């Protein structure tokens, strides 16, 4: 268990990181802070060529495992009222990545102190750009994880009780697809709508039609979400604009559902547009796949975690997405949830979301104990 002195140090670290958030791909100061902390512990920083984020290493020889934490923040104005609230206006650690990287630093300090006991190598991934869905792929493309046999990570959940650990096999977080649609009509005076092709009415009809995509196409037993999150058109009260745009996301857990949802999306958007006399341009952005926990490894991690922690549960899957899934396409992995506040608290990506410092020791132990257990298991 983390010592009180170590805990106090980690609380200060987490508050500092929370005060100084950086967006995906811009985590330069965060990376420098992490590098300095690890180097002061005499932990080796591996050469990767990454512009932000880093991979470090403790121990030597085989087997090789990896622990991952993400480090980027979101473009959100913080509304928590915390004494250590963001000093970077419009940027906030509203997903708790400050907690993730702090706990991995804490684990690094403990594992380094026990380096002579390690039965293999532990690679520490402080990953950039999780929110941009390209950070994990960047790390994999360096080849630095080519020898890794297993990888573990976690995400804090502010809507779960502090310290509760959720581990389930197979899909724990959804596949993510993003869409951006431009609806091209013909503008006109608001008093003479018959002289144009109304992009606003067409957009409204398209969005309404998309709400039937799940209800009348997907098996009701399957979890699929279609959300339009941004609509924009026009700039004054008496002119119908030429164009309108809308964007959003589709979340799925099943490959065939993902394919069908995309197919029906295109059909609905294009056919409704045609009926309203407008044209459309669809930009489809493929996000991470399902965060798929290796069944055998999940059972092992669940069992090992239950040995040292009394509150371990099988959680409900989350419709949120995670680019940890990108690692899992190449490496057997387990991704867990760790409760960081309490039921009814604001969830991830809310401007008033908060995570409690009391989560830190549990998250540190999740990394440390399971890393040691994995090295023991894979080394046999």
349 annotated as a binding-site residue = yes
358 annotated as a binding-site residue = no
Measured CA to CA, the distance from residue 364 to residue 103 in angstroms comes to: 5
**Count of CB atoms within 10 A of residue 260's CB?**
17
Give residue for tokens 């059909």. Answer: 267
SS3 of 370, please?
A: helix
Q: Length of the chain, please?
A: 380
What phi and psi, each to the nearest 5 degrees, are found at residue 61? 80, -175
CA distances to 39, 96, 100, 357, 363 from 10, in Å: 16, 14, 11, 9, 12
Beta carbons of 198 and 239 less than 8 angstroms apart: no
Beta carbons of 58 and 115 less than 8 angstroms apart: yes
Q: Of 63, 141, 56, which Cα lies nearest the Cα of 101? A: 56
310 annotated as a binding-site residue = no
* DSSP assignments along 72-93, one per residue: -BBS----S--TT--SSTT-B-
230 annotated as a binding-site residue = no
CA distances to 171, 174, 321 from 252, in Å: 10, 5, 9
The tokens for 83 are 């004494």
SS3 content of the chain, % helix, strand, coil (to 5): 35, 25, 35
What region does 313 belong to: left with phi over 0, alpha with psi -120 to 50, or beta? beta
Measured CA to CA, the distance from residue 70 to residue 136 in angstroms comes to: 9
* DSSP assignments along 41-54, one per residue: TTPEEPP---SS-E
CA distances to 176, 218, 360 from 35, in Å: 31, 47, 20
259 annotated as a binding-site residue = no
Annotated binding site: 95, 97, 131, 155, 349
Annotated binding-site positions for Mn(2+) = 95, 97, 131, 155, 349
């Amino acid at each position: 268990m983390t010592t009180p002195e170590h805990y106090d140090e980690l609380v200060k670290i987490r508050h500092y990181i929370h005060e100084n958030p950086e967006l995906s791909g811009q985590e330069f100061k965060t990376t420098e802070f992490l590098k300095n902390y690890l180097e002061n512990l005499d932990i080796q920083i591996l050469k990767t060529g990454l512009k932000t984020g880093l991979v470090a290493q403790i121990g030597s020889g085989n087997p090789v495992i990896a622990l991952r934490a993400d480090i980027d923040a979101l473009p959100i104005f913080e509304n928590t009222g915390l004494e250590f609230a963001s000093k970077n206006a419009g940027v906030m650690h509203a997903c708790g990545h400050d907690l993730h990287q702090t706990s991995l630093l804490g684990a690094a300090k403990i594992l380094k102190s026990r380096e002579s006991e390690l039965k293999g190598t532990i690679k520490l991934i402080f990953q950039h750009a999780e929110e941009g869905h390209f950070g994990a792929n960047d790390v994999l493309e360096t080849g630095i994880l080519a020898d890794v046999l297993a990888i573990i990570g976690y995400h804090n959940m502010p809507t779960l009780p502090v310290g509760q650990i959720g581990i389930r096999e197979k899909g724990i977080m959804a596949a993510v697809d993003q869409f951006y649609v431009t609806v091209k009509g013909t503008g006109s005076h608001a008093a003479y709508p018959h002289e144009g092709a109304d992009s606003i009415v067409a957009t409204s009809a398209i969005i309404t039609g998309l709400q039937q995509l799940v209800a009348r196409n997907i098996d009701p037993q399957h979890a699929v979400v279609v959300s339009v999150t941004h609509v924009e058109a026009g700039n004054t009260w008496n002119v119908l604009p030429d164009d309108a745009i809308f964007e959003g996301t589709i979340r799925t857990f099943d490959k065939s559902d993902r394919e069908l949802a995309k197919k029906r999306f295109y059909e609905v958007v294009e056919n409704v547009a045609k009926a309203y006399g407008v044209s459309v341009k669809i930009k489809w952005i493929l996000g991470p796949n399902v965060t798929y926990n290796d069944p055998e490894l999940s059972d092992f991690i669940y069992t090992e975690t239950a040995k040292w922690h009394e509150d371990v549960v099988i959680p409900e899957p989350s419709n949120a997405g995670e680019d940890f899934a990108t690692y899992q396409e190449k490496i057997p992995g387990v991704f867990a949830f760790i409760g960081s506040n309490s039921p009814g608290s604001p969830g991830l990506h809310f401007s008033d979301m908060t995570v409690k410092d009391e989560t830190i020791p549990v998250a540190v132990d999740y990394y440390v104990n399971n890393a040691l257990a994995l090295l023991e298991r894979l080394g046999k």
